[in-house]
Amino acid sequence: MYGEETFVVMFGGLYIEMAALRTLVDWLQGRGWVEALAQAEITTVGFHEWCSKREESFPQFQYWATFMSLELCLLVFVRSQRQSSFSMCLDALA
């Protein structure tokens, strides 16, 4: 009734959140991207197809698209913790 197959053991939400934030900070530090974006002063809005084409053509775009994807996963995870939604937590960690 209470065997191993009925329990899920995982790190606490705070530790997972902290590890994800450290990963994002490590990714940005020392690469010059923050300075480049500050100097460029460019903001664009695009669609999924446009983003896919840009990712194929420009490594920098692929880099930032991946970074944004990781950041969004982190935000979904944080929301799952705040709302106590285990299914949302599994989606974020997957």
| pTM, 2 dp | 0.53
Region 18-43: what's the mean pLDDT?
69
| Number of neighbours of residue 80 by Cβ within 10 angstroms | 19
| Residue 22 to residue 57: CA distance in whole angstroms | 29
pLDDT attached to residue 74: 86
Given this model, what pLDDT does residue 44 score? 42
Q: What percent of the chain has pLDDT over 70?
A: 78
Average pLDDT (55-73) is 88
User: Which pLDDT band, with edges at 50, 70 and 90, does 71 fall under?
Assistant: confident
